[in-house]
């Protein structure tokens, strides 16, 4: 649906980028719950967006 390329050090982190995109989609479809899916690298507070859920594989210790 949407994608962003990580621009390197000094920019938004690879976890913050999908959080920003999830916010855009959630704002566009405010009457619906939006669900995101990512691999184990995509977990953390930047992905806690109101009216959304996120499924990821837990990282291995």
User: What's the mean per-residue pLDDT of the chain?
Assistant: 90
Which pTM was predicted? 0.80
The model's confidence at residue 40, banded by pLDDT at 50, 70 and 90, is confident
> Taking residues 28-34, what's their average pLDDT?
93
Select from 37, 56, 40, 43 the least CA-distant residue to 16: 43
Question: Under a CB-based contact definition with an 8 Å cutoff, are residues 33 and 26 in contact?
Answer: no
Strands (DSSP E) along 1-61, which ranges?
A: 34-38, 52-56
pLDDT at 42 over 90: no
CA atoms within 13 A on the CB side of 43: 9
pLDDT at 52 over 80: yes
**Range list of H helices, 15-57:** 16-28
The model's confidence at residue 11, banded by pLDDT at 50, 70 and 90, is very high
């Amino acid at each position: 649906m949407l994608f962003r390329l990580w621009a390197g050090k000094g920019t938004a982190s690879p976890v913050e980028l999908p959080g920003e995109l999830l916010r855009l989609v959630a704002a566009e479809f405010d009457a619906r719950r939006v669900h995101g899916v990512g691999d184990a690298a995509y977990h953390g507070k930047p992905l806690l967006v109101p009216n959304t859920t996120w499924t990821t594989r837990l990282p291995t210790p």
